């Protein structure tokens, strides 16, 4: 399967009446939504009204107005999207956090999801009856990724990052990073250090891979990761339980779902 191509999209909040129809999701799918976290002044009260008290409080605690409005947009979009899987109103969804902080749906345990946001962009991954994790990072060329890899990642990752085309080092480093975040977020533990026991094994054309976990039992050692094609300057990955799933990229603006893109 090729790299799943995700376009970040923005949906104005005044059109949320069009969200009513339900979305079907098969057990072998992971559906991914790409979102631009922009919400205009006039839309903000409406977006905020969908949120829980806790989500509103978390947003209010953020110092910059930009971060506040992005947080509101991310959580409002998350609720709007999840509501279509659950057939429930966005503001009525009960989202609780596990003891490790992973948000989960209390009343719809089959629907699993994960959110990542960075610099005004977000990804939401949804699956049925399998845990899912997603991560997104912006490529920052000024960062010394070889130094970071030496400090945090495994020898195998370092060899991969240092080898090959030097112009692609940041991408190789970030693949090893987002793969870990996606797998650990699927597990619900979040980014857990140390990271050097595990390594990323890329397969085929590098659009997929397995994170090999150094400290796991043998049947849980290899965790499948699918990289997402997000356009220049971004690296993202999704991970889910098991090996038998494919990524479906969802189209926010047209409410079209393109299986296997
Ligand atoms: C969760 C974590 C992976 C976030 O990484 P990040 O790259 O900064 O942020 P991302 O945008 O990718 O993900 C953030 C989202 O992941 C989700 N999330 C939070 N905790 C999570 C967990 N344990 N597992 C899976 N997803 C989680 C949330 O939706 C969060 O967004 P929100 O806070 O706006 O609701 C990272 O903060 C972490 O590892 N935290 C958990 C462990 C921790 O805090 N340990 C400290 C104890 S010593």
- Report the pLDDT value the prediction gives residue 206, as an integer from 0 to 100: 86
Gap from CA of 179 to ligand 1 centroid (Å): 14
Residue in 103, 105, 125 to alter for ligand 1 test, most ligand atoms within 8 A of Cβ: 103
In a 10 Å sphere around its CB, with 0-12 CB exposed, 13-18 middle and 19+ buried, how is residue 19 labelled? middle
- Report the pLDDT value the prediction gives residue 259, as an integer from 0 to 100: 41
Higher-confidence residue of 119 and 2: namely 119
- Report the pLDDT value the prediction gives residue 154, as an integer from 0 to 100: 96
- Distance between CA 11 and CA 137 in Å, rounded? 22
- Report the pLDDT value the prediction gives residue 218, as an integer from 0 to 100: 76
The mean of the pLDDT values for the chain is: 90
Gap from CA of 74 to ligand 1 centroid (Å): 14
Strand partners, 127: 30, 112
With a cut of 50, say whether residue 256 has pLDDT above it: no
Encode the chain in three state secondary structure: CCCEECCCECCCHHHHHHHCCCCCCCCCEEEEEEEECCCCCCCHHHHHHHCCHHHHHHHHCCCCHHHHHHHHHHHHHHHHHHHHHHCCCHHHCCEEECCCCCEEECCCCCEEEEEEEECCEEEEEEEECCCEEEEEEECCCCCCHHHHHHHHCCHHHHHHHHCCCHHHHHHHHHHHHHHHHHHHHHHCCCCCCCCCCCEEEEECCCCEEEEECCCCCHHHCEEEEEEEECCCCEEEEEEECCCCCEEEEEECCCCEEECCC
Class of domain 1-130+245-261: alpha beta
- Report the pLDDT value the prediction gives residue 19, as an integer from 0 to 100: 53
CA 226 to chain centre: 11
| Tens-place pLDDT, residues 134-145 | 999 999 999 999
With a cut of 50, say whether residue 70 has pLDDT above it: yes
136 in Cβ contact with 230 (< 8 Å): yes
- Distance between CA 26 and CA 41 in Å, rounded? 37
Q: Whats the size of the chain, residue-wise?
A: 261
| Tens-place pLDDT, residues 168-211 | 999 999 999 999 999 999 999 988 888 999 999 998 788 999 99
User: What mean pLDDT is predicted for residues 210-235?
Assistant: 90
Domain boundaries in the chain? 1-130+245-261, 135-242
Task: Ligand 1, residue 100: give the atom nearest the CA.
Answer: 23
- Report the pLDDT value the prediction gives residue 191, as an integer from 0 to 100: 82
Nearest alpha-carbon partner for 153 in 134, 136, 172, 166 = 172
Residue nearest (by alpha carbon) to ligand 1 atom 45: 190
With a cut of 90, say whether residue 235 has pLDDT above it: yes
72 in Cβ contact with 60 (< 8 Å): no
| Residue 36 CB neighbours (<10 A) | 17
Provide CB contacts within 8 A for 192, sequence distance 6+: 184
With a cut of 50, say whether residue 23 has pLDDT above it: yes
Burial 136-151 (b: 16+ CB within 10 A, else e): bbeeeeeeebeeebee
Residue in 190, 191, 230 to alter for ligand 1 test, most ligand atoms within 8 A of Cβ: 190
- Report the pLDDT value the prediction gives residue 261, as an integer from 0 to 100: 31
The CATH architecture that domain 135-242 belongs to is Alpha-Beta Complex (3.90)
Pairing of strands 222-229, 234-240: antiparallel
CA torsion sign for 25, 250, 126, 23 is: negative
Tokens of 46: 């409406």
With a cut of 70, say whether residue 157 has pLDDT above it: yes
Work out the pLDDT band at 2, boundaries 50, 70, 90. low
| Tens-place pLDDT, residues 59-69 | 999 999 999 99
Provide CB contacts within 8 A for 70, sequence distance 6+: 37, 117, 120
Gap from CA of 165 to ligand 1 centroid (Å): 32
């Amino acid at each position: 399967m090729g790299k799943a191509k995700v376009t970040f999209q923005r949906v104005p909040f005044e059109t949320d009446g069009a969200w009513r129809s339900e979305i079907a999701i098969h057990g072998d799918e992971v559906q991914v939504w790409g979102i631009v976290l922009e919400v205009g002044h006039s839309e903000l009260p409406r977006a905020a009204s969908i949120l829980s008290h806790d989500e509103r409080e978390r947003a209010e605690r953020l110092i910059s107005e930009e971060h506040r409005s992005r947080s509101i947009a991310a959580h409002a979009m998350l609720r709007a999207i999840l509501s279509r899987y659950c057939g429930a109103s966005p503001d009525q969804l009960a989202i609780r956090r596990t003891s490790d902080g992973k948000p989960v749906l209390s009343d719809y345990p089959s629907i699993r999801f994960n959110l990542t946001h960075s610099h005004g962009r977000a990804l939401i991954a949804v699956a049925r009856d399998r845990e899912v994790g997603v991560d997104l990072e912006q490529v920052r060329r000024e960062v010394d990724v070889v130094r970071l890899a030496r400090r945090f990642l495994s020898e195998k990752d370092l060899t991969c990052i240092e080898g090959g085309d030097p112009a692609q080092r940041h991408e190789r480093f970030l693949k090893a990073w987002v793969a870990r975040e996606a797998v650990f977020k699927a597990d619900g533990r979040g980014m857990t250090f140390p990271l050097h026991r595990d390594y990323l094994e890329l397969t085929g054309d590098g659009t997929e891979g397995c994170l090999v976990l150094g400290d796991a039992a043998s049947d849980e050692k290899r965790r499948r990761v699918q990289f997402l094609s997000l356009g220049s300057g971004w690296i993202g990955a999704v991970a889910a339980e098991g090996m038998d799933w494919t990524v479906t990229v969802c189209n926010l603006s047209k409410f079209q779902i393109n299986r296997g893109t």
